[in-house]
Structure 1
Amino acid sequence: MRSLSTLLLLTITSLGFGQDWALINPAYRYNYSDDGTDTISNQIRVMEVDTLGVDSVLYTLNRIAFMCDTCPASLGGLCDGCFMWVDQPQFLRGSALHTPGRWTLTDPDTLVLLVPPVLGQNWVADPTGTVTATVVALEEDIYLGELDSIATITTSAGDTLVLSRSFGLVRMVRSDGTIYAGIGVEGPELGELFPDITDWFNYQPGDVLEYLHFLNGPNNGGTYTLYFWKTKDIFEERIDGESGYTITSTRGHVSPGNPSWEALPPQTIIHTLENGIWNTPLNQFFEHIDLDLYPSRISELQNTGTYFIPRLMRDNDGLLILTTDSIDHPIGALNAISYPSQNISELWPLNGERELLRCKENIGIILQGHTSNFEFSYSSELIGAVIQGDTIGTLTPDEVYFNTLSVSTYSVQRSFRILNTLCDTELMVITDPDVQLEWTIIDLNGRRVSTGMLAHTFNQVEVGSLATGTYVFMASSAQGQWSQRFVVAR
């Protein structure tokens, strides 16, 4: 038993205490909570890596912005009175310089950490010589489900840092009592992870989304007019690729009528998730959504030139909701002449105008829109859904959108058929006798690439100018709109 204990001690010493502890791994993203819950309040990640020498590397860390209602002036280049601080370092500071046996954290102040930690070791921890640091504990413990070496360091300035040999900073207790506790590490995929975009938008055939849309604003007569309508998307075919997926839906569209809702012909809609960007023609206002975010990062809202600060919260079901501070803050959103830039001095508040975006984990967009005191305002709000068999809210029956026909009946009743869905230069398209159809070819990003008219029973459609790939052939008449996929291969 004594020999086993000695061997175990030697193994722990050699594995845990004999290596250079990596405070920052550029391949990892470190998630922290500042309120004792499992909600991510901060994420530390490396934005730039500079090799300064053979054994010297400088890591530039991500920066944040935050509201400050009590501040008399703003920091970070914005106007006085905006009550917002931008381009600010987080609690681990703005950069980390790694040299043999040493980590130097800088911006706005400097803190030096010596590694590997040795119990009882004491050193000067800042350039002025006024702050010292001491290793007060060194032990084996479980962190994020993994057995690891854990060191506790205190400073004479009143801060406490708990370090992990494998996963960086475990906990920081600031002199003011603020606690940042590590709750997850992305890379090794441990603990609480910031949702990937597929965690927000991961639709499957059979899923359903129903939205209520409204638009109001001034008309030529100087009065305001309100329009509202509903759409219902029933997802159908999904094609997965290396960088995302494409999924089509049949969309019904109804508007108020007398005495009931009036339906328009259904449409085939193409949605894509590619390289971290979700593109969906939810309405005519917003399509592009980029959720490569971290908490408190200044982010652009859906290619609109408007910027916001994302927040994460949990609903009663424990699901994450992404929202923006600009919804609730009196200064509204922030606009920009050009972005990104060396600084963010070109941002200014848009009083009276706000862009909204709220997404819910596993569901997608639950609210989006734009409010204005003097221009058009619009919004789209989720009122019902079916996600992987689970019904959310109350859905309008299909009959309201698609008359008495089901979606599958509509797809079967299309007035054309492509004979050669795998083609080179020409599509052979058959239509019903005495039927003329306007046709459009779109790519999987929803871009229109060709148009024309089907005027005969047998039609030859030229596609020789198209690049190889998958396309959608859409044809419409007064009776409806239909679509069919085809592939150009050479």
Structure 2
Amino acid sequence: MMRSILLLIALSGSAASAQNWALLNPAYKYNYSNDGTDTISNQIFVTHIDTLGVDSFRYELNPGGVICPACSQGRTAACWSGLETDLVRITAPQALGQELILDGTAWYFVGESDTLLVETMAASGSSWVGPGNISAVIYAETETELFGSADSLKWAAFSNGDTLVLSRDHGIVHANRASAGHFELIGRDGPLVEGNHFPRVIDLFNYQVGDVLQYHDESTFQSSFCVHFVDGRTKYEVLTRTDGEGTTTYTLERTFTAHEESYYPQMWTPCGTYNYEGQEQISFVVEHDSFTEVNFFGSGLRGPLFPGAMDSVFLEPVSNGSPTMLASRLDSLGRYVVEPNIIYTSGWEASLLCRSNEDSLLFFPSDDHYRFTMVEGVGLTYLDWFRFESGATRTLEGYLLNGQQWGSIWSNSVILGDNENSVEATALFPNPASDLVRIGNTRPGAWCTITDMRGRAVLRHTATDMNELLDVRILPPSVYVLTTDGSTPQRLIIQR
């Protein structure tokens, strides 16, 4: 959209408005695209303001995580995994730099390696020299319309190779910087939403009274002698909604059931079998612009939401948070999807990150697994995590949102009685298996999960037939546990 505007504007040299130009408005978040599409790749906003004088201010800008192939040093023993993969910088400046300083009508864009001085009141043809002897010139200006309102634009070129297109009312609408790449402004979020909008946290979890979410839950953990497998369902119905200043509080009715079986792994003899079910009212609180502890649909995240945000993740039984980098994309319906940024995608897809010897670097721990998917207007649709000897998976099975239903939603009576049908044995043949194993008594749509003896999910598959054929050739020879939705876990031996 912005690219079309820039191409169609005639560089007429007409005089721009004489009023002061605001290249940054702290009340707004600026949404940029780096690929010429309507997908927001970067969101830039002010995190802190210092008053330097009567007409002088320092605006600190939000940094983001950046994949850093050149960062090859800094591994610690705690982070060692033997994987040759890129590292991630946690405080990298975005397209506009680390901070902006306003001094009268002059703006300083402060980056890591240079600082650009922009004289907003300079007319076309005017030039100046800034810090580091970087010279600049205004080589064109024009009047135009941007996001439905009249605006003025100026084109500035710098001797270090950078170019900026300045807007009187909308800041930097185009940037081509050697240190950051090519960016175009495609929207702003603030008192007014202009152009393309990036979701706030509340946009992910924006429910109304009567909305329903239903999840299938699986978990594994080890006690002192036994390995435990839990399979269940949880349904949430919104009973009340109260909107406050920056927060929304829901009262939810939680209806749940779970079937737990535990075994001595050496002999595969039972430790115990347990059933849980119940119904209760709980409070669910959403802070509009940040993931917090009380937002239990937030996948354990703590921190802000924007593309490339570095947040902390808190997973049981972890007591300290681990950092992870957020990624976002548009789905086929035009909704934003928020996920962790996965770099190493072969084998164990770890996405949690831990600090290295350099504060600006992160590296993957070898034994952590963390995946989630949150969809704008729906919320959490998938969560899968493992750490040491514990892990869990939560999958959205169905919802009723604003009167629109998707997937399967069970009645409360069926959920509360589900444990009566959750002990049917799964038939496996052959067992031991080498390449293929047939799973009997399956239900189309049911999850089939193979875990190792530490409880880590190593293979997942959705059944399409009542006698499902599963390819296990990617698994090394060992002893595993296979569970299917609503059935007793079975020991599976891979032998070649």
Q: Same fold judged by TM-score > 0.5?
A: yes
Where does structure 1 lack aligned partners over 5 or more consecutive residues? 1-11, 338-342, 405-490
Structure 2 match to 1:357: 372
SS at match of 1:199: helix
SS at match of 2:415: helix
Residues 107 and 240 of structure 1: CA distance in aligned 2, closer, same or farther (over 3 Å) = closer
- In percent, how many aligned pairs have the same letter? 29
Structure 2 match to 1:401: 415
Q: Does 1:85 align with 2:60?
A: no
AA partner of residue 170 (structure 2): F
Residues 177 and 210 of structure 1: CA distance in aligned 2, closer, same or farther (over 3 Å) = closer
Larger radius of gyration: 1
Structure 1 match to 2:122: 117
The whole-number CA distance in structure 2 between the counterparts of 1:309 and 1:289 is 10
Q: Could you tell me how far 1:363 is from its partner in structure 2?
A: 0.8
> Map of 1:256-295 to 2, 5 A cutoff?
264-274=277-287, 276=289, 290=302, 292-295=304-307
AA partner of residue 254 (structure 2): R
Structure 2 match to 1:31: 31
SS at match of 1:401: helix
Could you give the per-residue CA deviations for residues 367-398 of structure 1, whole angstroms, max 9, x where no partner exists? Answer: 224223x4111121111111111112222344
Task: Pick which of 205-214 and 50-59 moved more.
Answer: 50-59
SS at match of 2:45: strand
Structure 2 match to 1:366: 381
The whole-number CA distance in structure 2 between the counterparts of 1:228 and 1:310 is 29
Q: Does 1:377 align with 2:388?
A: no
Identify which of 137, 152, 157 aligns with 1:154.
Answer: 157
The count of residues paired between Structure 1 and Structure 2 equals 376
Contact 1:326 1:355 (8 Å CA) reproduced:
no
Q: Could you tell me how far 1:229 is from its partner in structure 2?
A: 0.8
AA partner of residue 231 (structure 1): T
Could you give the per-residue CA deviations for residues 464-484 of structure 1, whole angstroms, max 9, x where no partner exists? Answer: xxxxxxxxxxxxxxxxxxxxx
Could you give the per-residue CA deviations for residues 277-306 of structure 1, whole angstroms, max 9, x where no partner exists? Answer: 5666869xx886556322212111258612
Residues 83 and 335 of structure 1: CA distance in aligned 2, closer, same or farther (over 3 Å) = closer
AA partner of residue 99 (structure 1): D
SS at match of 2:132: coil
Q: Could you tell me how far 1:353 is from its partner in structure 2?
A: 0.7
Structure 2 match to 1:97: 101
Residues 380 and 281 of structure 1: CA distance in aligned 2, closer, same or farther (over 3 Å) = farther
Residues 177 and 347 of structure 1: CA distance in aligned 2, closer, same or farther (over 3 Å) = closer
Residues 252 and 360 of structure 1: CA distance in aligned 2, closer, same or farther (over 3 Å) = same
Residues 23 and 73 of structure 1: CA distance in aligned 2, closer, same or farther (over 3 Å) = farther
The whole-number CA distance in structure 2 between the counterparts of 1:291 and 1:364 is 16
SS at match of 1:396: coil
SS at match of 1:25: coil
AA partner of residue 380 (structure 1): R
Contact 1:263 1:403 (8 Å CA) reproduced:
no
The whole-number CA distance in structure 2 between the counterparts of 1:110 and 1:26 is 20
Could you give the per-residue CA deviations for residues 335-371 of structure 1, whole angstroms, max 9, x where no partner exists? Answer: 479xxxxx94696642211333321101111122422
The whole-number CA distance in structure 1 between the counterparts of 2:101 and 2:245 is 36
The whole-number CA distance in structure 2 between the counterparts of 1:269 and 1:57 is 45
Residues 270 and 336 of structure 1: CA distance in aligned 2, closer, same or farther (over 3 Å) = farther
The whole-number CA distance in structure 2 between the counterparts of 1:345 and 1:336 is 8
Contact 2:88 2:363 (8 Å CA) reproduced:
no
Q: Could you tell me how far 1:39 is from its partner in structure 2?
A: 1.7
AA partner of residue 48 (structure 2): E
Contact 1:62 1:94 (8 Å CA) reproduced:
yes
Structure 2 match to 1:221: 225
